[in-house]
Amino acid sequence: MEWETVIGLEVHAQLKTRSKIFSGAPTAYGAAPNTQANVVDAAFPGVLPVLNGEAVRMAARFGLAVGATVHRRSVFARKNYFYPDLPKGYQISQYEHPIVERGRLVIATAAGEKVVGITRAHLEEDAGKSLHEDLGGFTGIDLNRAGTPLLEIVSEPDMRSAAEAVAYLKTLHTLVRYLDICDGNMQEGSFRCDANVSVRPLGETRLGTRAEIKNINSFRFVERAIDYEVRRQIALLSSGGQVRQETRLYDSVRDETRSMRSKEEANDYRYFPDPDLPTLVLTEDLLAEVKAAMPELPDAKRRRFCDQYGLSAYDAGVLTASRELARYYEDAVQAAGAEPKLVANWVTGELAARLNEDGLDIGGARVTAQALAGLVRRVADGTVSGKAAKDVFEAMWAGEGDADAVIAARGLRQISDDSAIEEVVRQVIAANPKQLAQYRAGEEKVFTFFVGQTMKASRGKANPAKVNEILRRLLAP
């Protein structure tokens, strides 16, 4: 039987506010335990939550960016359960009335563009963390993360493969960073994903029973966890078994999912509207303000890069993967004054490779956009050969100065002067009469030999196009 996979994703994006969603405590990551939690975060008696307006603006920005309905009125609700890292015994979230509903995200798949529906996005607070290490068998509680604002983004079950799920996640990941609402750091848990996975016989319209996979903290693991889960479910159904509705945990070490709790064991969260927080009302003024501050979105930027710079869809996609990279590229194009395609090749080629090698993102580039533009200009005007330019780039990366300085210091200026090249070519021909005879006898492949000898004689500085042209002329019988 042929099976169809159905996937919906729930993403928790930590919002980049300076303070927590319901208290004034700071949100910085990595501080000593419990140094970033105040009496509100620790749920002392009598304390009350007060909503952080910045988190609301960020949620609205997201809603507008995915073409969703941003509700003028939404309601905070309490999700009740006991856990030591949940100080109030309830999480403040949004339940029946979320701030954002019915959006869409366009993703690129192997079969072209695809629209994934976004069911809803709601504001909620993060919990603290339980610490089990180095505490002599005790469990410690760190409340630094408690109360950090989250935007939970729930997709429709629109994805049909792990690859599509990853494409959706990457697109979403790019978007939230573009919107400057989430730093996207998956290692630190700023961007986390749960996947709802089910399978059904191809052609069936009803959804199969789903499992929810929790704790997936990288794009790679999303793909592997889903693939594993799909195989598990198909094997189960094929052998006459049934999929249980349950929550499963992905174990990246063993590359498998494990049952955490079944639907029957699930908590009854007893949601009800939080009486400490009035209905969240968005004014038209606030929405107008959010709209006015909206940055150019990845999709629009990609299209513009194609139109304005004549780039391929692929290059435009790579260059707009982050706002910072796109800015670097545009700064370089502007500084170079022309040659947008050449600049694109350098940014997606040498620069990207070097960044990758050094484990840096574009912010850590040791060659500025202006400096790269300087090098591109020298390639374009023939001062250096493309090959020599790579050495120049390496030297620039190593801090040896700008392109002109490196070219001068290393004597890498390309020889484009016809007479100078002709002089070298004549010497090479004169020194190799045997090969000349072979060539003239029709052994075309000997031509490459002469090119190599000429380049060697010019210490790589001769303009290769010119070398070709002149060799052809002088080798001719």
Largest CA distance in the chain: 100
Minimum distance between the CB of residue 99 and other proteins, rounded to whole angstroms? 16
Bridge partners of residue 151, in order along the sequence: 13, 123
Per DSSP bridges, beta strands 211-216 and 246-251 are parallel
Q: Please give the residue ranges that form the binding site for other proteins (CB under 8 A).
A: 39, 42-51, 78, 80, 82, 84, 87-90, 141, 268, 270-272, 275-278
Minimum distance between the CB of residue 304 and other proteins, rounded to whole angstroms? 42
3-state secondary structure of 452: helix
Q: Cβ closer to other proteins: 139 or 242?
A: 139
243 touches 237 (CB < 8 A): yes
Q: Cβ closer to other proteins: 85 or 188?
A: 85
Q: Supply φ then ψ for residue 202, to 5 degrees.
A: -55, 130
Minimum distance between the CB of residue 90 and other proteins, rounded to whole angstroms? 5
Secondary structure (DSSP) of 242-308: -PPPEEEEEETTTTEEEEEEETTTS-----EE-TTS--EE--HHHHHHHHHTPPPPHHHHHHHHHHH
Minimum distance between the CB of residue 42 and other proteins, rounded to whole angstroms? 6
Which stretches within 152-199 are classed as H helix? 162-178
Residue-wise over 392-403: b if at least 16 C-beta within 10 A, else e?
A: bbebbbeeeebb
* One-letter identity of residue 265: E
Secondary structure (DSSP) of 50-62: ---HHHHHHHHHH
Q: Cβ closer to other proteins: 42 or 195?
A: 42
Q: Cβ closer to other proteins: 45 or 399?
A: 45
Minimum distance between the CB of residue 310 and other proteins, rounded to whole angstroms? 53
Q: Cβ closer to other proteins: 143 or 470?
A: 143
Minimum distance between the CB of residue 378 and other proteins, rounded to whole angstroms? 60
Minimum distance between the CB of residue 40 and other proteins, rounded to whole angstroms? 8
Q: Cβ closer to other proteins: 39 or 313?
A: 39
Q: Cβ closer to other proteins: 86 or 369?
A: 86
